[in-house]
């Protein structure tokens, strides 16, 4: 079981956080138990208190004082081991990066999770695409073998895309309105599959 003890978000207040959590256009309305604000630094999930921090620097977040053993790093900013290790300076014991990492060991359930050992403090759970592709690639390779492959991923709209056309100097096509266009983009999923399934690397 996982017990939520603290959340860090430097950009929104607890009352706005509660509002966004309770009413979500994509995921629907939260109906499990009441969520409300106790004070500016505490949320209540039913009777359960959850501390709220607003730190921009991970090493300033008092995870230890809040009793957090595991931290999910889901900003998309602190994705390498050195940056993610800042959470440990704040008192966390282990960090799970919810994105691919260039140097943290990556694990995908059903693929290589048995290689995890308890001395590893920072891990990456790879990407959503890698979590879709790697288990299938493992099953096919184990049963039949894979000589070469080609993958296509179709992704839903994300929060970083434009609602109407706008400037995007690094990726011109990425500047087009998301709901009106199928926008080609690159993915690092194939490389990530090679990391969690070294037999397919290359």
Query: What letter would DSSP give residue 47?
Result: T
Name the average pLDDT for the chain: 93
User: Does 137 have pLDDT greater than 90?
Assistant: yes
- Tell me the torsion sign for CA atoms 141, 144, 149, 154: negative
Distance CA 153, CA 128 (A): 10
User: Does 198 have pLDDT greater than 80?
Assistant: yes
pLDDT of residue 33: 84
User: Does 187 have pLDDT greater than 90?
Assistant: no
pLDDT of residue 189: 84
Strand partners, 52: 7
- The token pair at 65 is 């004082």
DSSP-assigned states of every residue in 126-167:
--HHHHHHHHHHHHHHHHT--S-----------TTSBSS---
Q: pTM, whole model, 2 decimals?
A: 0.88
Q: Which of 55, 109, 128, 132 is catalytic?
A: 128
Average pLDDT over residues 31-39: 90
What domains are defined for the chain? 6-124 (3.40.50.720), 128-200 (3.30.360.10)
Average pLDDT over residues 73-80: 94
Per-residue pLDDT band for 190 (boundaries 50, 70, 90) equals confident
Range list of β-strands (E), 60-199? 70-73, 94-97, 122-124
128 tagged catalytic: yes
58 touches 78 (CB < 8 A): yes
pLDDT of residue 175: 96
């Amino acid at each position: 079981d996982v017990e939520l003890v603290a959340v860090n978000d430097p950009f929104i207040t607890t009352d706005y956080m509660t509002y966004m959590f309770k009413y979500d256009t994509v995921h629907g309305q939260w109906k499990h138990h009441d969520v409300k604000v106790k004070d500016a630094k505490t949320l209540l999930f039913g009777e359960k208190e959850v501390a709220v921090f607003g730190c921009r620097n991970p090493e300033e977040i008092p995870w230890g004082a809040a009793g957090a053993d595991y931290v999910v790093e889901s900003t998309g900013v602190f994705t390498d081991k050195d940056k993610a290790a800042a959470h440990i300076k704040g008192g966390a014991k282990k960090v799970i990066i919810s994105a691919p990492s260039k140097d943290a060991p990556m694990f995908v359930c059903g693929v290589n999770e048995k290689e995890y050992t308890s001395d590893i403090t920072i891990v990456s759970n790879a990407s959503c695409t890698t979590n879709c592709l790697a288990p299938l690639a493992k099953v096919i390779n184990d049963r039949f073998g894979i000589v070469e492959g080609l993958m296509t991923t179709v992704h839903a709209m994300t929060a970083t895309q434009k609602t109407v056309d706008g400037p995007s100097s690094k990726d011109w096509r990425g500047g087009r309105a998301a709901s009106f266009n199928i926008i080609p983009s690159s993915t690092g999923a194939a490389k990530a599959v090679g990391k969690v399934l070294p037999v397919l690397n290359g």
